[in-house]
Amino acid sequence: MSPTNQLNYIFYLGSLSLAFMLRILPLPPSVQLIAPDWVLLVLIYWLLSEPHKIGIFHAFLIGLLIDVLTGRILGQHPSGYIFAAYLCLTLHKRLQNIRLIQQCFFIFLILFIAQLIILWTDTFQHPLSYNTAFWLPALSGTLFWPVVKYLLHRCQQGFH
């Protein structure tokens, strides 16, 4: 492994850890309802920028860690993240070549589907008690996507 690759790997783990921490950061309940899934956003960034190195298995492991971190049934987040990863990997060539606005539309769909799967698996544990605001994290995630992409891209370039 060349030095740049190694640095990249450290950066990958660092960005994910930061996203994990943002995920469990205590926030006021009103903000909590619209807080985006930072981990999934960072994961999507890495899936799109390094599709040959980072794949479904990474999505599975990260999802498992999130389950442990947030006390869900093991497998809830992996199922959502694996689906998102599959979509990203099949669409990554197209996503790299379209404009940011169009990209955002795809990101919204991916976030929404992943969230729907996680919400649906919640019903195994207790009756579904979603409210109409349940899709807001997908929307806020879409709005944050250009920021996340820009920041991670700049940092990654800085490492090269």
Cβ closest to other proteins, residue 3 vs residue 29: 29
Question: DSSP per residue over the chain, as a string?
Answer: --HHHHHHHHHHHHHHHHHHHHHH----HHHHHH---HHHHHHHHHHHH-TTTS-HHHHHHHHHHHHHHHT--TTHHHHHHHHHHHHHHHHHHHHHHS-HHHHHHHHHHHHHHHHHHHHHHHTTTS-----GGGGHHHHHHHHHHHHHHHHHHHHHHHH-
Q: Is 123 in the site for other proteins (CB under 8 A)?
A: no
Cβ closest to other proteins, residue 25 vs residue 100: 25
- Where does this chain touch other proteins (CB under 8 A) — which range of 23-31, 39-47, 102-110, 148-156? 23-31
Cβ closest to other proteins, residue 69 vs residue 139: 69
Applying CB under 8 A, among 70, 90, 102, 123 the residue interacting with other proteins is: 70
Cβ closest to other proteins, residue 14 vs residue 143: 14
Q: Is 143 in the site for other proteins (CB under 8 A)?
A: no
Question: Which residues bind to other proteins, rule: CB under 8 A?
Answer: 17, 20-21, 24-27, 29, 32-33, 35, 64-65, 68-72, 74, 126, 129-130
